Amino acid sequence: MKNISIIVGSQMGSAEYVAEQLQDTLVENNFIVTVHEQPVLADIADTVWLICTSTHGAGELPDNIQAFAADLSQGNTLSNIHYAVIGLGDSSYDQFNQAAKQVDQLLLDKGAHQLLDRLEIDAQSEDLPEDIALAWLPQFIATLG
């Protein structure tokens, strides 16, 4: 059984809600899942990461994961980490899903293994963000073997 850490970057709660929906479905599929709203690198080093983040302001990471991202950038290689990223954004802004892109690139630069291409959810879509993420989730599960 795989341990999955869902790392949430949320300023207004949307990413947090999507993460909770993903957690419920993963648990139903017999995964051990922990949601981290204040992630600490040392606490999640031996798990698969599912990062679910919105973008705040002019393309910044949400406040609650800025320290985590700083720790990642200053740390050693992350070659033992397997991950996927879900970004929540609004395509009417120039910095659409910039936080998700930033975290994804940081992880790649540190040698982490990307399981799937980044999922970018657009608030302009008619579909609910959680529905888009849940429709994507079977692909994520399939990569876990």
Long-range contacts, stretch 135-144, CB < 8 angstroms, 24+ apart = 136/86, 137/22, 137/25, 137/26, 140/50, 140/84, 140/115, 140/116, 141/26, 141/29, 141/31, 143/82, 143/84, 143/115, 143/116, 144/2, 144/31, 144/48, 144/115
Quote the number of domains for the chain. 1
What is the reported pTM?
0.94
- When pLDDT is averaged across residues 91-101 and rounded to a whole number, the result is 91
pLDDT category at 1 given cuts 50, 70, 90 is low
Which range marks the domain in which residue 34 is found?
Answer: 3-143
pLDDT attached to residue 106:
94
Higher pLDDT, 60 or 19: 19
Q: Tell me, what CATH number does 134's domain have?
A: 3.40.50.360
